[in-house]
Amino acid sequence: MTRLRVLVVLVAAIAALVTGQSTAAAELWPGRHTYTGAIDGAEYRVETPERWNGTLVLYSHGYIPEGVPIPPGVTLSVRAETEQWLLDHGFALAGSDYRGRTGLAIQEALTDQIALLDWFTDHVAEPRRTVASGFSMGGGIATRLAERHPDRFDGALVIGAQHDVPATLNRGLDVTFGIRTLLTDDQELELVKATDPAHSVRVLRDGVRQALTTPAGRARLALIGAIGQLPRWASAHDRPPADVETAIRAQAWWTESAYVASLGPSGRVDIERRAGGNPSWNTGVDYARQLVRSGDLPFVREAYRAAGVDLGADLRALADAPRIAADPAAVAWAKRYGVSAGTTPVPVVTLHGLGEGLITSDARWYGEQVRLHGKPTRLRQLYVDRGNHGAFSAADEVVALGALLTRIETGRWPNTSPHALNATVARFTPRLRTVLDLYTFTDKVMPPAFTNEQPAMPLRATH
């Protein structure tokens, strides 16, 4: 098939799926409406288009740390442009803000989203097909909704999804443990069950910032980043840094923003309250071995040589430092609600960025779970060659959804090669190809970036 023919077929398939109206769907057109309210204390928003194509996208939002100033309202897609495009092309959208809205509200979300789906069926119409979608923590929620309720969903689009919450929390503990051991003078600093979490965060943050000012400190940050499997890439708009110092600074941004500020001692207050204790541990962890497995040993050695610091001495310090044990009941809670099973009772598309420091290897790990426990023919994993978290355009979201809908409707996957996907993304307007970079908190129109590459397997997966 020629390159032009591949492009035409893929574009035609997406267009047919997002604009086509069946006779059954025509009877369900609710007209353009916005519905808001609350179900058992969980606020929701539902948007219906002027002419409904019969498809409902139930969106699950991501993790919101307590105290972060987030605008009011329930989000229904990663990008606002995606929401508008879907409404313009006949989709109905719905999403719950979950009871409490902030924190690791996974348990609540799994109930609140089904309650909203019930509300939609009772008050709007029975969808002809329903897609579970979500971003970050919400991507994992969408996956688990489809796994637990396959009779309610026809497919799942999971974007930058967190499939293994315990692994993320253990990664965060590895990072803060490394900071406390190598970059602070307070070896009694509370990393879990903190009585003064703000103090712990402040000491950890100051340790990172001070370390950035010296070659020795930056070398130790490289080691901490390696045992945490953090990328040396933080920008959604630029390529990975070529020089060692800039790469360490990018890695340190993940260290501070994700694992000190968001999921550090303050963030763990909420997590430990929900879990009934501490769900993270580093007992029995060999950090020297973890460094080797990270693939970053040559980079860390280069940073240590340049700084004239003894890498072996720092690895011994990590080995000798007192470890932190988890509470078994809390671990069980995190596994029960925060780990995707990979059973794929319905088709699933994952969309994942390569330079991810928050859900570093979750997509690769989820693919392995599907191979072991599900049906690999129902999974299609798409990767975008960008840094940062959620570095996707509306066009990326829509094209990934188009692939899923093709599989749902026809039983076959369309051509999802990077070339075919990128050619389709390029046909969208610049506004729909805009990507947010959390590193600089700026928007920029970006070229299509689908790729065949995959991240490495995680260092500390749940199983």
Q: In what order do the strands lie in the sheet with 379-387?
A: 33-39, 42-48, 92-96, 55-60, 129-135, 155-159, 348-355, 379-387, 450-451
Residue 273 Rama label (left phi>0; alpha psi -120 to 50; beta) = alpha
pLDDT at 84: 97
pLDDT at 28: 52
What are the structure tokens assigned to 109, written together? 């979300």
Measuring CA to CA, how many Å separate 289 from each of 176, 212, 284?
18, 25, 11
Q: List phi, psi (to 5°) of 384.
A: -115, 130
- Say how many C-beta atoms besides its own lie within 10 A of residue 196's C-beta: 12
Interacting residues of 202 by C-beta distance below 8 A, sequence separation 6+: none
pLDDT at 2: 37
Long-range contacts, 427-431 (Cβ 8 Å, 24+): 427/11, 428/393, 428/394, 428/395, 428/398, 431/81, 431/394
Terminal C-alpha separation, the chain: 41
Q: Provide the angle, in degrees to the nearest 10, between the axes of the packed helices 287-294 and 165-183.
A: 110
Cα separation, 307 vs 436, whole angstroms: 35
Residue 78 near residue 41 (C-beta atoms within 8 A) = no
**CB hemisphere CA count around 103 (13 angstroms):** 16
Residue 361 near residue 404 (C-beta atoms within 8 A) = no
- Say how many C-beta atoms besides its own lie within 10 A of residue 12's C-beta: 11
Residues of the chain with pLDDT under 50: 1-27
Residue type at position 18: V
Cα separation, 263 vs 256, whole angstroms: 10
Cα separation, 170 vs 164, whole angstroms: 10
Residue 158 near residue 133 (C-beta atoms within 8 A) = yes
Element (H, E) at 23: helix 23-26
DSSP codes joined into one string, 409-439: HHSS-----HHHHHHHHTTS-GGGGEEEETT
Domains and CATH numbers, the chain: 3-164+339-451 (3.40.50.1820), 166-333 (no CATH)
Give the CA diameter of the chain: 73
Closest CA to 449 of 390, 393, 380: 393
pLDDT at 19: 36
Cα separation, 62 vs 74, whole angstroms: 11
Instruction: Tokens 């996907």: give the residue.
Output: 421
